[in-house]
Amino acid sequence: MEKNIKDLEAEFQKRIDNGENIEAKDWMPEKYRKTHIRQISQHAHSEVVGMLPEGNWISRAPSLRRKVALLAKVQDEAGHGLYLYSAAETLGISREEMIEQLNNGTAKYSSIFNYPSLTWADMGAIGWLVDGAAIINQVMLTKTSYGPYARAMVRICKEESFHQRQGYEIMLTLCNGTEEQKAMAQDALNRWWWPSLMMFGPRDEESPNTEQSMKWKIKRKSNDELRQQFIDQTVPQADILGLTVPDKDLKWNEDRGHYDFGEIDWEEFWNVVKGNGLCNRKRLKDRNAAWDNGKWVRDAATAYAERQAEKRVSKAS
Ligand code: BYC
């Protein structure tokens, strides 16, 4: 006798509660599938759009060594986007559909990439803070319940850790440099600190997806828990650099064993998420141009694959 949907859902939840991974061909509730398509595709888009603020500095890196490291980091991000699009494809959405959603502005990607990268110190701040925040979120996701996503995260986290160190090293060098260089590092921290805190998403009570995502172990920690973890980890790093975190309410709280911190500007956050940040329009324009300019490469690769397939058929016959 066919199992009814309630039994299937109960069995599914039992597997999750037992800590089993869900694989692409396993039965899953439609909402679980859709939530993953949403989150993984947004994550993939973030990696792809995330290349833009840094790509802006490849040709202006101050030395060959810095240029090679930045180039490698940006290439890694392209790779992360590709693993993640592949993981999302296992859930029944095509890559074309996801790219179309990104290019026509209907898909979300991380708010952080809608801020401009104005100076070389921004390459340091992005690596240190943005990749630092990404790692905290993604280490959690290596234990997420959907197998293909969790496995992609393991490799991505290894590469992110190199990215974070690359950024912190730039900050250290600037902070040990001239007054002007140190001021540039402080200015970058001032501009990237609050947007980095916003990367973790809205406060828990304002986060519509968290409750269900925690039940399904898609998320293992809430937005606020991860944000606090990031602050506790990053403030001592700013102290080592000799920089001041731009938050007058930041204070170690002995009782909580955590830093207390000031109010995030949520109006700014939602404004950026809705498409009205400083660079949202430019990012979409640049992604569309990259897609259009890459058409000849996709056409050539498709024509080559078809020729190879024809050759294999004629050899076999
Ligand atoms: N920006 O219910 P919530 C990186 C949306 S970059 C924009 O809490 P959820 C990197 C959210 O999508 C990091 N939108 O959602 C690359 C939802 O909207 P919808 C990328 C945001 O999903 C290059 C609504 O707000 N990492 O790695 O439970 C260089 C309500 O939020 C943001 C990932 O994507 C935001 N910051 O939790 C360097 C990690 N925050 O879809 C670094 C995977 C929230 O309902 N994603 N929204 O219309 C996640 O872990 C979760 O999706 C989030 C949000 C924690 C981000």
H helices of the chain, in order, are 5-17, 30-58, 64-89, 95-103, 121-125, 131-141, 147-175, 179-198, 210-215, 223-241, 266-271, 280-293, 295-316
Distance CA 128, CA 245 (A): 13
> What's the gap in Å between 240 CA and the centre of ligand 1?
29
Cβ atoms of 185 and 129 closer than 8 Å:
no
pLDDT of residue 129: 98
Point out the ligand 1 atom lying closest to the alpha carbon of residue 213: 28
Q: Is the pTM of this model over 0.75?
A: yes
In 3-state terms, what secondary structure has residue 96? Answer: helix
CA distance linking residue 285 with residue 46, whole number of Å: 15
The minimum-distance atom of ligand 1 relative to the CA of 40 is 43
pLDDT tens digits, one per residue of 122-152: 999 999 999 999 999 999 999 999 999 999 9
Q: In this predicted structure, what is the pLDDT of residue 128? A: 98
Nearest residue (by CA) to ligand 1, atom 41, is 38
Classify 22 as helix, strand or coil.
Answer: strand
**C-alpha span between 267 and 270 (Å, rounded):** 5
Which one-letter amino acid corresponds to residue 158? Answer: K
Ligand 1 site, residue 144, Cβ cutoff 6 A: no
- Count the Cβ atoms, other than its own, within 10 Å of residue 299: 10
Who's near 179: CB < 8 A, 6+ residues apart?
Answer: none
Cα 74 → chain centroid: 13
**Is residue 118 a contact partner of residue 96, using CB atoms and an 8 Å limit?**
no
Protein residue with least CA distance to atom 34, ligand 1: 43
pLDDT for 2 equals: 67
Residue 218, pLDDT score: 96
Mutate to test the pocket of ligand 1, among 32, 38, 39 (most ligand atoms within 8 A of CB): 39
Q: Is the CB of 199 under 6 A from ligand 1?
A: yes
Q: Which residue has the tokens 């060959």?
A: 64
Q: Which residues of the chain have pLDDT under 70?
A: 1-2
Residue 271 to residues 110, 246, 268, 283, Cα–Cα distance (Å): 13, 21, 5, 15
Q: Measure the CA angle with vertex 297, ends 291 and 300; round to 5°.
A: 140
Ligand 1 pocket member 155 (CB < 6 A): no
